Amino acid sequence: MKKTVMYIRQSLDTDKQKNSLEMQRSHCLEYAKQRDWIVDEVYNEGKCSARKTDMKERLQLTRLLNDCKKGTIGRILIFKRDRLARNVEQYLDILNQIRLCKVELHFAADNEPPLFGGVASDLIESLLAGIAEYEGNNIVRRLINSKKTAAGEGRWAAGSYPYAYIKKNEDQPGVLKIDSSKERIVKALYALAKIELCTKKVVDFKAFYETVQKKKLLKQLDEKQVWKILTQPLHKGVMSQTIDGEEYNRAAPDLLIVTVDSWEEVNDALSLMKPPSGVEKKSEEDEVIVPKLVGIAHCASCGEPFVATPKMYKCKTKGCKNSPHIERVDQDVLFTVRNRLLEKGMKEWETVRDQLQKLLVEPFEKKAHSLKHQIECLEQKIMENVKQHVKTSGVIDLNVSFVENYRENIIELDFVESRCFSIKSFVQLLTKEKELDRVKKEGLKPMEINSLLQLVKRVDYAKGIKEVSFICNERKGCLL
């Protein structure tokens, strides 16, 4: 007799999902009980991401599919489709393997539609799997956005806490305090580094680590730990984090363990050394800076728009040596925009706010409206195809591209609405902050900096800004 089995998988190891596996098990058992089925075995994948983990690494799913092929399984119970996969192609592949083995597949969640069969099956299952994939991507985006928010507020969001720091309060994740039991280790390590690396001019890190191992207090540290401790900016009171490619640097004087001068001196010495195996060393030569003013910044000598190299803006004119650093130009322009905004905002803020709304927010609102209309049309087409299939018994030539377009539009709409909300919030925030304190203190987020630079129409640059012009409003003239 073939077995009835259950497959469960937990996506994320978070407090919100600590009961996820038990919850899935409970629903599947209740579903089986209502139908007088006995669950013979549970395939428990545990904590495993369906987005990041390769199929071959999902050992329980692999075992389940192999047992299906052996003919020992007659029925599989899972909570929802997304437990199998959060990727359309992968889900359909798993589903096809189960079908070929003539194994029943049942979903225990109350709001999960049963498995579709017939001609329209692949279309409808693709649509439902696409929604699951979108939800998975959305979860990741929300996690990334929450990490960015935390980093922007000066909380630690980049994984495990740096050495010598612990959580300050259980109710405030990411708010750190110094671990006094490890603080003296950090101070002792920097003191030794100043003597060995800066005074004695030791140039080999392995030789320095041999000296570290001779100190009783520091002997517990491995080679990678020593490097990471010495290069951690938080020890000098600067919380530096990179979240999804964006860098966040916030002053954290209450978390300072060594003086800025000591940290800089030690790190100047380390910059000349090869790090331990397995530790990446940031190299200025490999650094690529993302330019924000391509097509806007021009050579003040030739009038030609700059082209961007990994670190410099360069004039296209042969023989012209005007090649300013990207960061310098972008920072100079941002400084000019900020000053003009402060100057004009104080005098006629309502006008500036209205024009910012029109220039920065309205394009996103129009795009969101257009996408919503396209999604409604695609939903109608999909429903018409499904209704046609229900009414007829013949083979229907369904346009599978409807599903792909639907999924792409949903994802794009989410992105557009998210950007629209962020920019609108930024404009409203500036409205509330009459003195524009955050703009004065250079406390702008990357998205806000990009928004302000969108106000610039053209910049002529050569050893500094020669001229800058701003986007104009059709009725009210120059914005700034």
Lowest mean pLDDT among 236-250, 269-283, 304-318: 269-283
Check residue 166 and give its pLDDT: 93
Per the CB < 8 A criterion, the answer to whether 13 and 46 are in contact is no
Per the CB < 8 A criterion, the answer to whether 75 and 37 are in contact is yes
Per the CB < 8 A criterion, the answer to whether 257 and 164 are in contact is yes
Per the CB < 8 A criterion, the answer to whether 473 and 355 are in contact is yes
Residue 287 has pLDDT above 50, yes or no: no
DSSP-derived pairing of the beta strands 104-107 and 73-78:
parallel
Indicate the pLDDT class of residue 344, thresholds 50, 70 and 90: low
Per the CB < 8 A criterion, the answer to whether 79 and 27 are in contact is yes
What DSSP string runs through 245-297? TEEEEEE-GGG--S-HHHHHHHHHHHTTSPPPTT-----TTT-----S-TTTE
CA triple 241-244-245, angle to 5 deg: 75
Check residue 13 and give its pLDDT: 47
Interval 22-27 mean pLDDT: 90
Round to whole Å and give the CA distance between 362 and 162.
42
Of 235, 239, 232, 234, nearest to 154 (Cα)? 239
What secondary structure letter does DSSP report for 87?
A: S
Taking each helix axis from N to C end, the angle separating 401-432 and 326-356, rounded to the nearest 10 degrees, works out to 80
Query: pLDDT tens for residues 85-115?
Result: 877 778 888 888 998 999 999 999 887 778 7
Per the CB < 8 A criterion, the answer to whether 328 and 307 are in contact is no
Check residue 127 and give its pLDDT: 61
